[in-house]
Structure formats: structure tokens, C-alpha cells
A and B are shown apart, each in its own frame.
Chain A
Amino acid sequence: MVTIIIVLKSIVIGALVGFGVGAGAARMFHAPNVQGMGAFRTFGELNACAGDPISHFSFGLGFLFNSWASVVGAGALTQDVDHRVIPNWAAAILLWKNKNVEETLHNPKRMAFAGALVGVVVVTLLNSTATAIPQSMQLVATKVLVPAANWLINPIMPIVFWMAALDAGKRTGIWGTVLGGMSHLVMGNAVPGIVLGILIGKGLDDSGWNRITKTMVVAVALLFVLSGFFRAFDVALLKSLQVEIPQWLVELHETFGSAVKK
């Protein structure tokens, strides 16, 4: 009885999640003119499969085994279901019939419905199967795919975005370098910072210092300050400079629920 309830709920959840992920992923290909939703790694990986349905399918399959092991072991689906399995399988389904990525992978409507279909199948399957998957498949996922994907995120993607920023002109190169380095320090990955650098640099090239570009710089500064605070970068910085952490800062962190380790 419990299994049936889980299956029914999973169908609803899978459809909702798949619909959103599919539409968001297709919209990423039109960013930043259209607001997309997903992740830079998803974007890079979708591009890596270059519109080939078999590649999209096998990439998703590899991570499905990983998620399967995780859900059987701990009840956690992993972030890969939304980041990798659903977008890649939705792409694979659409590309099977039509190899033109403009009409398939880049189309939010088609990706939303394909994503919903994949979401229903994948989420229901993962949540309802308690049987373990073959150990050997799980090992390929964790020992081969996970390290490769991690390298792509760091350092490959930061380097490629960095080079693109440097090649796009002096202003973009400087903003990209400074914000990229700071982003790697504060947020753990340089890509968001470099993208912000390209955004500001190109914005300045095109329209100079006006209300919009000034607002953006302020927003970016705010983003760095708040990210730094919530990730306790301020404390780590003071510590690495051998500076005593002031009591008010410790208390400030405590009010937001994060305990500062001495």
C-alpha cells in the first residue's frame, strides 16, 4: 500500500519537476536574453553531447545508476536527476526523431513535455525500486563519470570561460579575471564570477557607465559580500591572516544560525 502511494506521488512530482527542468534547460540556450534555469555544468554537458541522441542517453544513464545507488542507500535522489538525467534523456527522446537542435533541445515547449515524461518515469522508478543495481555499474558511475564531471566543473570550465573573457577585450578580461578569482575564493568556482565579469565588461563596452551598469556593479558587489558572509568566507579569511575573530562577528554569524568554529 505504501509503495502504491509513493508511486502515485512520484508520478505527480516527476511530471512537475521534469516540466520545469525541461523548459528551463531549453531556455538556457537563449540566455541571457531569455531567463534560463539549470546550471552551467548542465549547459556544458548538453553541449558536449552535441545533439547526438545516443550520447545524451548514455550520459544520463551513467548518472541514473549513481542516483539509483544513492536513493537505495540513503533515500536521496542526488542533484543529478534534475541536472543530468532529465535534461539529457528529454533531449535524447526529442533528437531521436529530429536531429535539428534548434527545433528540439533549444525549444522550451518540446523540452518541457519530454522532460515531464522522463521525470515521471525516472522519479517513479528510482523511488519505488528497492532492489539494488549491479555493483559494477555503480562503480563505473562513481569512479569514472563523477571524477570526469568534477574536472569539467573545476578546472576546465573556469579556464575556458576565462580564456573567452580574455579574448573578448581588455575591459572584459580585467573584470573577468578579478571577479573570477574572487568568485573561486568566495563561491568555490570561478565560472559565475567570470560570467559576471563578461556581463559587466561587455555592458560597459556597449553603453558605458550609466544607471544600469552601476546598478549591476552594486548588485554584484552585494552578491559577493553576502555569499562571502553566508559561506563564512570572512571568518576563514581572518583566520588565515592570523587575526583574532571579533566577538561581534561571531555573534552576527550566530544570529543567522551558523556557528563559527574557533
Chain B
Amino acid sequence: MNELQAKGFWYSEWAFALFVACLSSGIFAGTHLYYVYHVGAFNDIAIVAMLEAGIKGGGYGAAAAFGASFLFARILEGPLVGILDIGGSLQTGIGIGVPALMLGAGFTAPLISFPLALTTGAVLGLAIGTVIILIRKFTINSVNSTFGADVMMGAGNAAGRYLGPLIVISAIMASIPVGIGATAGAAIFYYFNKPIAGGAIIGAMVLGAIFPIPTQ
């Protein structure tokens, strides 16, 4: 613990709650933009569509249940694994689930007013961050063990290496010119000691711009 505190504010536990508050505030305000101007929701089309179904009058049940369950599971998972999944917890939970709950209850003010949206998001984020830090306090932090941090970091590093070859294979399956571009790009990047994922993407994009991938 002492070593952690020595690292200062940016690594501290309570700064985490602050970061979550910032992010949730922005995400909730993004949903406000979507509600008012139909642009800017921080989520995938399929999930935003659930909220849209509610806005169009089809009931908010699906979006609320989906979002709230993700939020709940990720809040429990986050402190245990050390990484809070922002996709499930904040983008889907705070960005879709909570607005759906509010709108379902006829509580539209936080989504119509921009300042209120920012505040609502920030308060919710602060609450989530605090809960996570509290769970950590009673599990991970109160014992003298790294809980296999080295194992997880090693696996994280190893998994990343696969992306380059995956992009090349995916490009080859998409079309012949794009596949050739990705292969050449990967080879060139490897020669210059760069990660091949970047070269594969650039190669695929250049050739894909000249010879568009056919849509069947």
C-alpha cells in the first residue's frame, strides 16, 4: 500500500472514482445529445436501437434490463480483475440502461437538459467508482499478494501479438488486392522493426481504396 501511495494522485484509489465520474458524465451527456439531436450516443447501433425502440414508444424494458444487468455484473467484476470494463458498465449501463430506466419512469429532465445530464452522469460515475474502490478495499488490497498480476500481464502482452497476423488473414479473406496490400504492409513494417498490425491495416486501406472490396 505504501508503495502505491508513493506513486501519487494519478495512481491513487480515489482518483479512480474521479476518472469514472468524468467518463460517465461524458457518456450520459452523449445520450442526451442522442435524445435531443439524434446523434452522439456512445454505443453500438444494435444497443442504441433498444433505447430508440423505447423513445419511439415501444417500451424501455429491454434497454433498461440489458443495461442494468451489464452495469451490475461489471461493477462486481471490475475490482476483482483490476480493469473496469467501460463498454458494459458505463457505455451500456450508464449510457443506455440508466436513461432507459429514467425515461421509462417518465423522468425526462436529466436527458433534456445538458448541464443536468453532465451532473447526473458525474454523480452516478462517482457512486460507481466509490463502490468499486470499496470492494477492492475489502478484497484485493487487504492482503499481501499480487494475485497473479505477472501472469495476467504476460498473457495480455502475448495476446496482442496475434492481432497482426489476424488482420492479414482477415484481409486475404476479404479480397485478393486487399490481402496482397495487407501482406506487403505487414512485411515492410516487420522489416523496419514495427508491429505488423499497423502495416497490415495501412496496406489493406491503400489497396482497398484503389480496389474496393466487392459487396456480395
Contact = CB atoms under 8 A, between A and B. Distances in A.
Contacts of A181: none
A250 interface: no
B159 A156 contact: yes
Interface residues of A, number: 117
Given A79-B42, A134-B209, A160-B159, A140 B204 contact: yes
Overall SS of chain B's interface: helix
A47 B156 contact: yes
B contact residues, range: 35 or more
Interface string A67-83: 00011011111110111
A50 to B, nearest CB: 4
Given A39-B86, A212-B139, A144 B155 contact: no
Contact of B133 (A35, A127, A220): A35
Interface in B119-162: 132-133, 135-136, 138-140, 142-149, 151-152, 154-162
Q: Find the residue from A5, A10, A139 having the highest chain B CB count within 10 A.
A: A139
A35 B13 contact: yes
Contacts of B161: 47-48
B20 interface: yes
B189 to A, nearest CB: 8
A157 B83 contact: no
Contacts of A76: 34, 41, 43-45, 47-48
Contacts of A168: 148, 151
A138 to B, nearest CB: 10
Contacts of B10: 23, 107-109, 112
Contacts of A36: 82-84
Interface of A: 2, 5-6, 9-10, 12-17, 19-21, 23-24, 27-28, 30-40, 43-50, 52, 54-59, 61-62, 70-71, 73-79, 81-83, 107-109, 112, 119, 123, 126-127, 134-137, 139-140, 143-145, 147-149, 151-152, 156-157, 160-161, 163-165, 168, 172, 187, 192, 195-196, 198-199, 201-203, 206-207, 210, 212-213, 215-216, 219-220, 222-223, 226-227, 230-231, 256-259
Interface of B: 4, 7, 10-11, 13, 15-16, 19-27, 29-30, 32-34, 37-45, 47-49, 61-62, 64-65, 68-70, 72-73, 76-87, 91, 114, 118, 132-133, 135-136, 138-140, 142-149, 151-152, 154-164, 166-167, 169-171, 173-175, 178, 182, 189, 194-195, 197-199, 201-202, 204-205, 208-209, 212-213, 215
